[in-house]
């Protein structure tokens, strides 16, 4: 992808996702993810309806009329986008690949965080940490994150969610809002998830295609395992093959939902042919 085409794609994603974050997600994001507490802002004269518990008695005595302390939310937070860039991201049967769908979701979340003056960071992982961008504020920083999501070429093709969670726990010392975006075709990350979820507010977003749930009957089909690179001739008319495939996928999904729930982390599913907007809004409202 040349520079001109890349900038065009970045701009297109910015226009679409920024509009969503400004008009749809901004308020929901703010109310869902609270700041670290309340900090003192100023003192002003008492007005009808003010909480009497906030009266500043020293200032009231000095001016001989009631004054109250005004507090504001200590808002600054850090959002980390932890994105799976393994080989299976290059799959999709509904207008776009999983990687493009994930980029839109990540950009929408990032602009929502920017609207609230929060920092945003990025971790791209396969079965190793492919890229780490430390959290920073601002539009130009978000655009850099979008460019990496669009253009980055990972060295490896396999998936290791446990490794990504371990890295997250080591690199972030303060509590962060974490969105882990993957198809979660992996297991064995239970312990690392539990450790990371005890420090951070984690949400797993499972992005998948409907044909990853169940193989349609298409006869003999040449398939490539995007993570191992193996070419396999699959008889999709075989009930045994379809049942075995569906069971393996179901096991991954059940592991994902069960482990996230037990760790106290949030989770949601986003299918490529469904609206991620509705899914995210529903999730935010459920948490409020």
Helices 98-115 and 3-20: crossing angle in degrees, nearest 10, is: 60
Query: Which of 32-46, 69-83, 208-222, 227-241 has the least mean pLDDT?
Result: 32-46
For residue 61, pLDDT over 80 is answered with: yes
Phi, psi of 184 (to 5 degrees): 55, 40
Please state, in angstroms and rounded to a whole number, the distance separating the CA atoms of residues 136 and 146. 14
All residues at 6 or more sequence positions from 66 whose CB lies less than 8 Å from its CB, including other chains: 45, 46, 55, 60
Q: What is the pLDDT of residue 90?
A: 67
Residue 130: pLDDT over 90: yes
Q: What is the pLDDT of residues 216-252, one digit of tens each?
A: 777 777 666 655 667 777 777 778 877 777 788 889 9
Mean predicted lDDT score pLDDT of the chain: 84
What is the pLDDT, as a whole number, of residue 152? 92
Is pLDDT at 201 greater than 90 in this prediction? yes
Question: Quick one: average pLDDT of 83-110?
Answer: 83
Token pair, residue 205, equals 């977003």
* pLDDT tens-digit map of 2-32: 667 767 777 778 777 777 776 656 566 666 7
Calpha distance 135→132 (Å, rounded): 9
Cα separation, 266 vs 283, whole angstroms = 9
- 218, exposed or middle or buried, with CB in 10 Å at 0-12, 13-18, 19+? exposed
> What is the C-alpha to C-alpha distance for residues 109 and 9, in angstroms, rounded to an integer?
18
Q: Does domain 3-31+77-287 have CATH number 3.40.140.10?
A: no
pLDDT of residue 44: 85
- In the structure encoding, which two tokens stand for residue 232, read together? 């396999």
Check pLDDT > 60 for residue 163. yes
pLDDT at 211 (0 to 100): 77
From-to residues of CATH 3.40.50.410 in the chain: 3-31+77-287
Burial degree of 83 (CB within 10 A; 0-12, 13-18, 19+)? buried
Contact 35, 74 (CB under 8 A): yes
């Amino acid at each position: 992808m040349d520079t001109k085409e890349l900038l065009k794609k970045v701009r297109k994603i910015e226009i679409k996702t920024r509009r969503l974050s400004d008009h749809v997600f901004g308020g929901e994001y703010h109310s869902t993810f609270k700041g670290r507490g309340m900090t003192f802002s100023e003192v002003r004269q008492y007005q009808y309806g003010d909480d009497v518990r906030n009266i500043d008695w020293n200032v009231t005595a000095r001016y001989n009329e009631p004054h109250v302390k005004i507090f504001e939310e200590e808002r600054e937070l850090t959002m980390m986008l932890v994105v799976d860039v393994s080989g299976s991201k290059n799959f999709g049967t509904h207008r776009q690949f999983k990687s493009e769908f994930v980029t839109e979701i990540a950009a929408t979340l990032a602009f929502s965080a920017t609207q609230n003056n929060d920092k945003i960071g990025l971790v791209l992982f396969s079965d190793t940490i492919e890229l780490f961008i430390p959290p920073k504020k601002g539009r130009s920083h978000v655009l850099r994150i979008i460019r990496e999501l669009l253009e980055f070429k990972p060295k490896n093709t396999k998936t290791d969610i446990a490794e990504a969670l371990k890295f997250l726990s080591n690199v972030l010392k303060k509590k962060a809002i974490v969105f882990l975006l993957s198809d979660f075709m992996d297991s064995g990350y239970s312990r690392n998830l539990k450790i990371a979820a005890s420090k951070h507010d984690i949400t797993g977003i499972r992005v998948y295609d409907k044909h990853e749930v169940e193989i349609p009957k298409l006869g003999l089909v040449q398939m490539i395992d995007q993570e191992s690179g193996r070419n396999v001739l699959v008889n999709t008319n075989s009930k045994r093959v379809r049942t075995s495939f569906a069971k393996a996928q179901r096991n991954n999904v059940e592991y994902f939902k069960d482990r996230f729930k037990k760790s106290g982390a949030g989770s949601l599913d986003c299918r490529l042919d469904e609206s991620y907007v509705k899914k995210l809004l529903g999730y935010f409202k459920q948490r409020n």
